[in-house]
Amino acid sequence: MATIDKADLSRIVIVPGQRSGQPCIRGLRVTVWDVLDMLASGMTEDEILQDYPYLEKADFPAVYAYASQTGRQRRAH
């Protein structure tokens, strides 16, 4: 729960028509799922920040919290 409490979920936005309505980071064309896929492939946060310099360190807790919240909602249905 600590991650969700500390995360700024306002960093995750859904813009109709952008990336098929997927949740994106700060309106950029990078989705929550893109970041999670990179992490799952073994990239570190620092490596992702090097490849995507417009992302910010504070985006990661928002990605984790959004994914956690989404997973909990799916499990509840």
Which pLDDT tens digit goes with each residue over 14-64?
999 999 999 999 999 999 999 999 999 999 999 999 999 999 999 999 999
The number of folded domains in the chain is: 1
Q: What is the pTM of this model?
A: 0.85
| Structural domain contains residue 25 | yes
**CATH of residue 63:** 1.10.10.10
| Structural domain contains residue 35 | yes
DSSP code at position 10: G
| Structural domain contains residue 8 | yes
Q: What confidence category does residue 5 fall into, taking pLDDT thresholds of 50, 70 and 90? A: low
| Structural domain contains residue 6 | yes
| Structural domain contains residue 20 | yes
pLDDT score, position 73: 76
| Structural domain contains residue 18 | yes
Q: How far is CA 51 from CA 9, 14, 18, 44, in A?
A: 23, 23, 21, 11
CA-nearest of 41, 19, 36, 37 to 28 is 19
| Structural domain contains residue 77 | no
